[in-house]
Amino acid sequence: MNRGKKIVLKMFVYFSVLSVLIPIMVIAIWSVSGRWAWPQLFPDSFSLRGINELFGGYSGAVQVLGSSIAISLIVALLAVIIGVMTARALVFYDFRGKSLVSFGVILPIIIPSTVFAMGIHVLFIKMGLSDTVLGVIIVHLICSLPYAIKIITDMTAVIGKKLEEQASVLGATPGQILKDITIPCLLPGLISSASLAYIISFGQYFITLIIGGGSVKTFSMLMVPYLQSGDRTVASAYSMVFICSTLIIFIVLEKTANKFNKNGNGGFFA
């Protein structure tokens, strides 16, 4: 029985891993294939068209990748900062309309982004934020904050104020408490929130298109037309860069964070 259970469990693990790896492998092969017609098991010919398109210079994909990563990192950082502040307000303070605020922060998940994008667009045009990087960062933030706030609020509630009280009576100023106690203790939650905010921002297409108006280019905006036009070679090449860059960012996030928290309880991604 026990043995049978183990085999089932193992099969489940292998199945899960393969169901992620096989599609990625297919994308990897597609990105360098010239012609791959059904029902061939392997491509008929290989081509560097996708790679050239990406790194050849005329598409500007590399620069866009850079600025896109920058935008998403800023969104991740802001989401974490606002998340920590909101979480502390929601957990440690009692104020009028607290339940309204805690419901309000998850509204962007409930309302479809296409709906609120229209409204925000009108507002941003009036404020002069439309077609600007700042505007794009703000809408990305609106989409990613609910997740960041939820994760950090739950962690803050679990950790509580006890360790901060202890540090305070030992002589730590509020600044020192934040640096030495609060942030290290929240770190796993901060990494999760930052990663989530990053991927939400990085993968955002429609909202970026509306608010950025085409003048703010992100990597998704270059990639989606290829996906839609059915040029699988180039689309796959873009997808590979998308996946790899995100993975690298996650690993870097995790490593940097763990540098500040050497007794951390193991990594999330690396």
Partner 1 sequence: MKFKRGSSSELVLKNIFVSLGDQLILDDVNLVVKKGELVSLLGPSGCGKTTMLKTISGLLQPDRGDIFMDDVNVTQETSCKRGAVIVFQDLRLFPNMTVEENVAYPLKLQGIDGKKRRDKVQKLLENVQLDGYEKRSIYEISGGQVQRVALARAVAANPNILLLDEPFSSLDGNLREDMRELLLNLHRTFDITTVLVTHDQQEALMMSDRIAVMGNGQIIQYDSPAVIYNQPANKEVADYFGGGNYITGRVKQGVFRSEQLTFPVAKADGLYQALFRPSALKPISGANYSVQYVRYLGESWQIEVERLGSRLLLSLPSDYYLKPGDLLDIEFDLEKVVMIA
The residues binding partner 1 (CB under 8 A) are: 162-163, 165-174, 176, 180-181, 184-185, 187, 261, 263-264
Cα separations in angstroms, 35 against 40, 46, 226, 242:
10, 7, 16, 22
Half-sphere CA count of 192, side-chain side, radius 13 A: 16
Beta carbons of 86 and 188 less than 8 angstroms apart: no
CA angle 165, 167, 170 (to 5 degrees): 110
Which CB atom, from 114 or from 173, has the smaller least distance to partner 1? 173
Task: Report how far residue 208's alpha carbon sits from residue 253's, in angstroms, rounded to the nearest whole number.
Answer: 24
**Max CA-CA distance within the chain?**
72
**Shortest distance (Å) from residue 77 CB to partner 1:** 21
- The residue to which tokens 């693990």 are assigned: 13
Q: How far is the CB of 176 from partner 1 (least distance, A)?
A: 7
- Minimum CB distance to partner 1 smaller for 32 or for 163: 163
Smallest gap from Cβ 76 to partner 1, in A, equals 22
Shortest CB 181 distance to partner 1, Å: 6
Residue among 100 and 169 whose Cβ is closer to partner 1: 169
Give the integer Cα–Cα distance in Å for 151 and 105. Answer: 12
Taking the complex as a whole, the smallest distance from the CB of residue 182 to partner 1 amounts, in Å, to 10
Q: Which C-beta is closer to partner 1: that of 108 or that of 184?
A: 184
Q: Between residues 40 and 166, which has the closer beta carbon with respect to partner 1?
A: 166
Q: Give the residue with the Cβ less far from partner 1, 52 or 168.
A: 168
Report the nearest approach of partner 1 to the CB of residue 167 (Å). 7
Q: What percentage of the chain's residues is helix, strand, coil (to nearest 5)? A: 75, 0, 25
Amino acid at the residue 224: V
- Which residue from 96, 90, 59, 107 is spatially nearest to 219, judged by alpha carbons? 59
